[in-house]
Amino acid sequence: MKPSSDIARLIEIMAALRAPKTGCPWDLEQDFASIAPYTLEEAYEVVDAIERGDLADLRDELGDLLLQVVFHARMAEEQGAFAFPDVVEAITRKLIRRHPHVFGEAKDLAPEQVKALWDEIKREEKAERRLAREKMGLPPEAHETGFLGGIPTALPALTRAQKLTAKAAKVGFDWPEAIQVIDKIHEELEEVKEASSSGDRNRIEDEIGDLLFSVINLARHYEIDPEAALRRTNAKFERRFGAVEDALKQQGRNLSEASLEEMEDLWIQAKLDERKI
């Protein structure tokens, strides 16, 4: 079997990998749950390639992510649920429906009107989905109930917290000013200190969660993606820690041979060197 730019070839390869007796043993033993972590991992690797500006890597990572879609579709086809063409049909139908200003009669809309129209169409789709489940005798989807319904529980916690607060803000449940959120962060930090003195791990975890939630809310007020902000800080920490390690190597030492004070001095120097660039 030769490589090809035709999506049909990828589908054929996936079918061959899942073929009983002749397929790949590892691929054959997978199911939706076992593959889900890889799907998330590949999505993050796509984001990583974008942030690094590496288009060659982005091409490869998008291929890996596409494989995840084909893999899930193949397993669903084996169960008689749906196949890859059904996935394509579903997303094309959704895109056409959600863009009447492009494919329909709603023309010349301003960006805010497009967003309002998008939200209205999504609400209609959710209502239709609930009705369809009722007709099939199925209970409502757990994440679809209530005003905050529709925000997937599998999202990264930072992203989901941002979406929860943003949705609540639509009905006025929000701090009007960012400074009020900052005050709330100070309040939550004091509660973390109090919990720490109690030695109650569950309470400490609960208060740290409240603190993180408030910080994410602050990021939303400034229209900053907390996930992107934290990834940026992770990269900064890794870069500066690497500078500390390199500086020690130049002295003929390693990290375990340096004191905290020495590493802190080198860290400060790394920060100063970055500012000179």
Average pLDDT for 214-235: 93
From CA 105, how far away is CA 94, in angstroms rounded?
Answer: 16
Phi/psi zone of residue 180: left (φ > 0), alpha (ψ -120 to 50 degrees), beta?
Answer: alpha
Mean pLDDT rounded to a whole number for the chain: 91
Record the tokens describing residue 161, joined without a space.
């917290």
pLDDT for the residue 156: 84
pLDDT band at residue 150 under the 50/70/90 scheme? confident
Average pLDDT for 257-275: 93
Distances (CA, A) of 85 to 30, 80, 121: 21, 13, 24
Q: What is the pTM of this model?
A: 0.66
DSSP letters for 159-213: HHHHHHHHHHHTTT-S-SSHHHHHHHHHHHHHHHHHHHHHT-HHHHHHHHHHHHH
pLDDT band at residue 144 under the 50/70/90 scheme? low
From CA 38, how far away is CA 64, in angstroms rounded?
Answer: 10
pLDDT for the residue 115: 84
- N- to C-terminal Cα separation, the chain: 51
pLDDT for the residue 59: 96
Average pLDDT for 163-188: 94
Question: By the 8 A CB rule, do 143 and 151 touch?
Answer: yes
Q: What is the pLDDT of residues 3-17, one digit of tens each?
A: 788 999 999 999 999
- Secondary-structure breakdown of the chain: helix, strand, coil percentages, each rounded to the nearest 5: 75, 0, 25
pLDDT band at residue 141 under the 50/70/90 scheme? low
Question: By the 8 A CB rule, do 167 and 147 touch?
Answer: yes
pLDDT for the residue 143: 54
